[in-house]
């Protein structure tokens, strides 16, 4: 056994690497206690390679981030042990090392939760909300978030899991750096991974598995993204273009339909005649909810959208699959949209999501539809999301007014001369 000891009154505390259990150069670490000539050992559920273990000091060798984190964990366990020992000395005049072991294993070591363990419990609980407060896609992302944390722990600390109570603020910083540099996530995608970890941390605090939330002083930096959309002239160019290739004509119609309803690909793909009914204004509406968040996204159908639905009501694919539109895979649609952009001389990267942005900006807000009504039709959880489109419209108005102002300034001298 490789060990090092620290003396506290009659109690000696050490951390040892069990040589008799080494496999492939890696062995388990145990907390070793000596009290009144007797000893006991407790697994701390951590491992270390034998060539990285400092036998003399009972610590992980070196000054690396992993070594620092590992040794901080050992020190935390040592201090917890001392605290429990002092409490027992205060309340019990006579106790043994076995009694101390029992107290430690039921209160401070074996009962502590590890991060991945808490993630699994959290995900298991949230899975029960699928169909009630959460959709399947959102829950599936939780699994991906959990697995990414596991990959980070394995790469950074060379272990399968870490105790939640041993985590520090530096863990968040290192995880964020990992997501940026190695996983190469976009800023706002990275924030979603961090928000998941934050929810797990709060879950651990609420269940008293740790005393403090790692994210107490952390702010997830969300970057405002540029939302591409088509102007009225660009949309008109696509709508009026003569297209002889059938597949591109169908893709154009699907895209234009989404530009006039605001539905994302997944939402448009599921639409059937059963989603259409007469609304409060006597016009046809689509009644549905977004697949992304289950929010209601009911939309009154504009004439353009109605004409497209009517055009494809006898289409074999629509009849056989009982769908409103002859949908293709999202990958194929986006590929065909690139062709459509070329033949319509659209310089922007056409995607199905640009259609949604176009509905919000060019079709609704630019034509005086209120922010509240726009938010409802888009199925946004918060009007703050919709206000991003409002900023786009304001920016465009400001830009166009500035151009008008410049034109008027140029005309002013000539006008003045003519007046004289």
Residue 41: partners with Cβ closer than 8 Å, 6 or more residues away: 16, 30, 31, 32, 33
Residue 46: partners with Cβ closer than 8 Å, 6 or more residues away: 28, 29, 70, 73, 159
Domain boundary among 87, 107, 127: 107
Q: Note the pLDDT of residue 102.
A: 78
The CATH number of whichever domain residue 250 belongs to comes to 1.10.443.10
Domain co-membership, 240 together with 326: yes
Taking residue 7's Cβ as centre, other Cβ atoms within 10 Å add up to 10
Residue 314 counted as domain residue: yes
Q: Note the pLDDT of residue 312.
A: 95
Q: Note the pLDDT of residue 6.
A: 44
78-133 per-position pLDDT tens digit: 988 887 888 677 666 677 888 888 777 755 544 468 899 999 999 999 988 887 77
Q: Are 11 and 85 in contact (CB under 8 A)?
A: yes
Distance between the two ends of the chain, CA-based, in angstroms? Answer: 105
User: What six digits make up the tokens of 356?
Assistant: 């949604």
Domain co-membership, 52 together with 144: no
Residue 88 counted as domain residue: yes
Domain co-membership, 269 together with 357: yes
User: What six digits make up the tokens of 293?
Assistant: 């968040």
Domain co-membership, 149 together with 247: no
Domain co-membership, 128 together with 254: no
Q: Please state the three-class secondary structure of the chain as a single string.
A: CECCEEEECCEEEEEEECHHHCECCEEEEEEEEEECCEEEEEEEEEEEEHHHEECCCCEECCCCHHHHHHHHHHHHHHHHHHHHHHHHHHHCCCCCHHHHHHHHHHHCCCCCCEHHHHHHHHHHHHHCCECCCECHHHHHHHHHHHHHHHHHHHHHHCCCCCEHHHCCHHHHHHHHHHHHHCCCCCHHHHHHHHHHHHHHHHHHHHCCCCCCCCCCCCCCCCCCCCCCCCCHHHHHHHHHCCCCCHHHHHHHHHHHHHHCCCCCHHHHHCCCHHHEEECCCCCEEECCECCCCCCECCEECCHHHHHHHHHCCCCHHHHHHCCCCCCCCHHHHHHHHHHHHHHCCCCCCCCHHHHHHHHHHHHHHHHCCCHHHHHHHHCCCCHHHHHHHHHHHHHHHHHHHHHHHHHHHHHHHHHHHHHC
Residue 31: partners with Cβ closer than 8 Å, 6 or more residues away: 13, 14, 15, 41, 42, 43, 44, 77, 81, 104, 109
Band of residue 353 on the pLDDT scale cut at 50, 70, 90:
confident
Q: Note the pLDDT of residue 54.
A: 93
Residue 140 counted as domain residue: yes
Domain boundary among 206, 222, 244: 206
Domain co-membership, 381 together with 267: yes
**Domain encompassing residue 62:** 5-107
Domain co-membership, 323 together with 241: yes
Domain boundary among 206, 223, 255: 206
Domain co-membership, 252 together with 323: yes
Residue 386 counted as domain residue: yes
* Alpha carbons 269 and 323: distance in angstroms, whole number: 8
Q: Which of the two residues, 193 and 408, has the higher pLDDT score?
A: 193
Residue 292 counted as domain residue: yes
Which range among 202-206, 224-228, 316-320, 353-357 shows the weakest confidence by mean pLDDT? 224-228
Domain co-membership, 273 together with 374: yes
Residue 222 counted as domain residue: no
Mean pLDDT of all residues in the chain? 84
10-25 per-position pLDDT tens digit: 789 999 999 888 888 8
* pLDDT, average across residues 266-286: 91
Buried b (16+ CB within 10 A) or exposed e, 347-364: eeebbbbbbbbbbbbbbb
* Alpha carbons 265 and 363: distance in angstroms, whole number: 18
Domain co-membership, 259 together with 382: yes
Cα–Cα–Cα angle for 157, 158, 161, rounded to 5 degrees: 75
* Alpha carbons 112 and 116: distance in angstroms, whole number: 12
- Which of these, 273, 305, 266, 306, lies nearest to 289 by C-alpha position? 266
Domain co-membership, 249 together with 325: yes
Domain co-membership, 241 together with 380: yes
Residue 217 counted as domain residue: no
Residue 150 counted as domain residue: yes
37-86 per-position pLDDT tens digit: 888 998 888 889 999 999 899 999 988 888 898 999 899 889 888 878 88
Total count of domains within the chain: 3
Cα torsion 208, 209, 212, 216: sign: negative
């Amino acid at each position: 056994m490789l060990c090092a000891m620290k003396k506290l009154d009659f109690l000696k505390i050490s951390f040892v690497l069990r040589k008799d259990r080494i496999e492939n150069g890696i062995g388990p670490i145990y907390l070793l206690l000596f009290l009144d000539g007797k000893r006991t050992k407790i697994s701390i559920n951590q491992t270390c390679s034998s060539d990285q273990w400092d036998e003399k000091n009972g610590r992980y060798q070196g000054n690396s981030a992993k070594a620092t984190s590992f040794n901080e964990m050992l020190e935390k366990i040592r201090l917890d042990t001392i605290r429990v020992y002092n409490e027992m000395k205060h309340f019990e005049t006579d106790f043994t090392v076995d009694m101390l072991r029992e107290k430690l294993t039921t209160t401070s070591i074996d009962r502590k939760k590890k991060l991945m363990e808490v993630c699994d419990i959290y995900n298991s609980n949230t899975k029960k909300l699928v169909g009630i407060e959460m959709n399947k896609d959102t829950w599936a992302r939780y699994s991906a978030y959990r697995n990414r944390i596991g990959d980070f722990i394995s790469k950074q600390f060379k272990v399968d899991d870490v105790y939640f109570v041993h985590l520090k603020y530096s863990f968040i910083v290192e995880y964020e750096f990992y997501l940026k540099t190695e996983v190469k996530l976009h800023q706002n995608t990275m924030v979603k991974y961090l928000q998941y970890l934050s929810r797990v941390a709060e879950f651990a605090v609420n269940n008293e598995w740790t005393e403090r939330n790692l994210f107490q002083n952390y702010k997830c930096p969300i970057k405002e993204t540029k939302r591409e959309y088509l102007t009225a002239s660009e949309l008109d160019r696509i709508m009026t273009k003569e297209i002889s290739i059938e597949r591109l004509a169908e893709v154009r119609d699907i895209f234009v339909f989404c530009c006039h309803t605001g539905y994302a690909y997944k939402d448009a793909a599921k639409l059937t005649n059963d989603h259409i009914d007469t609304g409060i204004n006597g016009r046809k509406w689509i009644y549905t909810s977004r697949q992304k968040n289950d929010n209601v996204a009911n939309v009154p159908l504009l004439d353009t959208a109605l004409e497209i639905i009517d055009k494809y009501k006898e289409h074999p694919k629509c009849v056989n699959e009982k769908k409103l539109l002859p949908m293709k895979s999202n990958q194929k649609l986006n590929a065909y949209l690139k062709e459509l952009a070329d033949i319509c001389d659209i310089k922007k990267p056409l995607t199905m999501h640009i259609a949604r942005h176009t509905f919000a900006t060019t079709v609704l807000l630019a034509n005086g539809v209120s922010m509240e009504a726009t938010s409802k039709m888009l199925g946004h959880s918060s009007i703050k999301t919709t206000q991003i489109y409002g900023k786009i419209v304001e920016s465009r108005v400001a830009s166009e007014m500035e151009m008008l102002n410049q034109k008027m300034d140029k005309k002013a001298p000539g006008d003045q001369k003519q007046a004289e």
